[in-house]
Structure 1
């Protein structure tokens, strides 16, 4: 049996660690737009160049969900598939996945596909994908993996710090009035993924490190106690390292993975944004 973990490209994890060599890892790419130009969010996207072009452009920008065919192309490569999307409240990726799953299983009823609406983005999908790879390595049955990842999902939190929310406001993900106030005052925003998969504002702050200290405090208040952490960042190694070091001071054996944001999360988090997913 061949196993595959398939995410859309909102997942900032671009490959599994080499220790998980029994599992194929694939992504269904979203697309990004600057004016009339379309950029496919895959391994060929030059994210730094894309971000620079976006900042310099006065044209409208946007993003679009993967096509059903891109999911189907991934399904073809394995017998048992676990597929994860960005929150269905933020994108049409979930509906694209479900359409693809229904169409594919009609012609391939022997295949098994378990679909997960992450209700998150970025490192939130990454931490789920990493746990799925662990379960597959344990040679658990398909049914057992489905049960375990469903329960595990209930105990994952996601917080993120943004210096700009211009693109979130433009695309209707954050209230326009709140966004304008934050932009004018130069405030850093601490936000999180709600249980429903929407974006909740947790705290607003002007201090350079104060917002990251507040992030850690919010993690602790949410039940974090030294579990796995995945931090993704948009050209902000310094702040990612700061959060990691503060966590290690409290939990010396904590397992922390730091990765750069992919195209979609770079687009929405914008430069210097970071996303922190954690087991609670």
Structure 2
């Protein structure tokens, strides 16, 4: 029996990948206008973005330990190994919920193969790690091989992104008030990245036009990326497909990567990043 890959909705993979690679995902919760929704299955990200443009302040909640326990137990009872490839523990308590469930299962069944891996990634950065794990599982790799590859890809995954308004990230505690203030100054666009699972401002780009920011994102990818023509590169967007396609076109023309995956930033991430976010994901080294 192949290893079962489980993730959460913060990975932002397009729905077709879940069925194609037999990935199970658990939805985070989104709280919007006094109602609770399951990310992906219960609400579309556009509804969240439209509400944010109208002044709403959505919030999110982690997946509960009970939910993980229920799902993990289903596969453990079938003696199927599990690898959970999770959202950065620096950005959500979801991974801690998974660890609580893992511990409870192992206390009752020490021989169970239940692995919980912190990608320190978000959105399609996490999604690319999940996808690689699922490809290995489909090819018959064992759990230990998959965990090793997940750890390597997670460690080498770059996140380069920009947001239209840092205020959204500041409200959710994802960046400091100072960073939000400086990012919001007239004619300055913030460029951010991820360090050890945390969102960190990288540069302040003068000039409000996104084309200038896209050019700089591409340059950072050139500086940090390795063997880009051998990679699947991902771009996620907050209700801005046109800009995502422009960035993809620039990358494709220059590097001709194996694949460029474009996807929506789902409600769980979008509730904090806000509409207009553009994010670029690639490896700074390839696993050999």
- Residue aligning to 1:262: 266
Q: Distance in 1 between matches of 2:37 and 2:69?
A: 21
Q: Distance in 1 between matches of 2:65 and 2:141?
A: 29
- Residue aligning to 2:81: 80
| 8 A contact 1:34–1:54 mirrored in 2 | no
CA deviation after TM superposition for structure 1 residue 151, in Å:
2.3
CA deviation after TM superposition for structure 1 residue 52, in Å:
2.1
- Residue aligning to 2:8: 8
The answer on 1:69 being equivalent to 2:66 is yes
Q: Distance in 2 between matches of 1:177 and 1:43?
A: 35
Against the structure 1 CA distance between its residues 183 and 245, is the aligned structure 2 distance closer, same or farther, given a 3 Å change threshold?
same
Q: Distance in 2 between matches of 1:203 and 1:183?
A: 13
Following superposition, which runs of at least 4 residues in structure 1 exceed 4 angstroms of deviation? none
| 1:121-270 equivalences in 2 (<5 Å) | 121-194=122-195, 196-205=196-205, 206-226=208-228, 227-270=231-274
Q: Can you list the C-alpha shifts for 1:96-121, whole angstroms capped at 9, x where unaligned? A: 11111111233344431221111121
Q: Distance in 2 between matches of 1:166 and 1:224?
A: 33
Q: Which one of 18, 22, 25 corresponds to residue 24 of structure 1? A: 22
Q: Distance in 2 between matches of 1:128 and 1:163?
A: 26
More helix per residue: 2
CA deviation after TM superposition for structure 1 residue 57, in Å:
4.2
CA deviation after TM superposition for structure 1 residue 237, in Å:
1.1
Q: What TM-score do you get using the length of structure 2 for normalisation?
A: 0.87
The answer on 1:90 being equivalent to 2:91 is yes
Q: Can you list the C-alpha shifts for 1:117-155, whole angstroms capped at 9, x where unaligned? A: 111210111100110112112222222222222223222
Q: Distance in 1 between matches of 2:95 and 2:257?
A: 36
Q: CA RMSD in A?
A: 2.1
Q: Distance in 2 between matches of 1:264 and 1:224?
A: 30
Structure 1 residue runs without a partner (length 5+) = none
Q: Distance in 1 between matches of 2:98 and 2:236?
A: 24
CA deviation after TM superposition for structure 1 residue 262, in Å:
1.1
